[in-house]
Amino acid sequence: MSHDNDDHGHDHRSSDNHWSELTLRVKALESLLVEKKLVEPAALDAFIDTYETKIGPRNGARVIARAWSDPAYKARLLTDASAAIAEFGYTGRQGEDMVVLENSAKVHNLVVCTLCSCYPWPVLGLPPVWYKAAPYRARAVREPRAVLAEFGVTLGGDVEVRVWDSTAELRYLVLPERPAGSEDLSETELGLLVTRDAMIGTGLALPVASLSKRGCP
């Protein structure tokens, strides 16, 4: 399911505190575990951070870097994403049926889950808070350009924005445009240019110059 819209309006981060019943249950369980001293708060925070920002997105970055550097793999990824991603061993719950959406100079893809927070865990880890928030879920469909602008992504009027609604049966991963000047980079270096947000569509791949800031040659 895709949408293309252009309305403007509300701040997608304004209702992060309007938690769902499931979120409240999870937080209650976290509190109980901490209270019973079954888990340390710092350890719990570290675990969540690892799966939200490190292990998961790093997997997806490897997939994208391979697609950028290997045309045959890219063709397989766009034809049968689930099988191509499984070549890396990234399979399992929340990632059984995948579709990869390719960004171009004329098309920008944005992923949302309007009903809950369906998300491709094997390649992106845990979904960020804003992805699960009701404002993002609603506004990404109604006013995608405004939402993208709030994430720092400003697109020309000639660029079509396509919004894809993930479901329990189908998850999406965005293949961002390859950054200019990256032709001579290794696959490992290319992976460093891929961010979680770029694979959701709320961001772009990092410029090649960012590698020098990380101490890469």
Domain extents in the chain:
2-213
Decide: helix, strand or coil at residue 71: helix
pLDDT of residue 151: 97
Rg, the chain, Cα only: 18
Q: How far apart are CA 125 and CA 85, in angstroms?
A: 14
pLDDT of residue 10: 35
Q: pLDDT tens for residues 13-46?
A: 333 444 455 556 656 666 777 777 777 777 767 6
Catalytic residue among 20, 31, 69, 118: 118
216 is catalytic: no
Q: How far apart are CA 150 and CA 183, in angstroms?
A: 30
113 is catalytic: yes
166 is catalytic: no
Which distant-in-sequence residues (6+ apart) come within 8 Å of 86 by Cβ?
none
* C-beta separation of 150 from 202 below 8 A: no
pLDDT of residue 15: 37
* C-beta separation of 199 from 124 below 8 A: yes
* Predicted TM-score (pTM) of this structure: 0.77
Catalytic residue among 117, 166, 210, 212: 117
Tokens at 215, concatenated: 């101490």
pLDDT of residue 98: 95
Tokens at 175, concatenated: 């293949």
Q: Chunked in runs of 10, what are the mean pLDDT values of the chain (217 residues)?
A: 45 41 62 73 69 76 98 98 94 79 98 92 90 95 98 97 94 97 97 97 97 69
45 half-sphere exposure, CB direction, 13 A CA radius: 3
117 is catalytic: yes
Catalytic residue among 15, 82, 116, 210: 116
Domain 2-213, CATH homologous superfamily name and number: Nitrile hydratase alpha /Thiocyanate hydrolase gamma (3.90.330.10)
Comparing CA positions, the residue from 199, 181, 4 lying closest to residue 101 is: 199
Catalytic residue among 113, 166, 186, 216: 113
Tokens at 95, concatenated: 């990632």
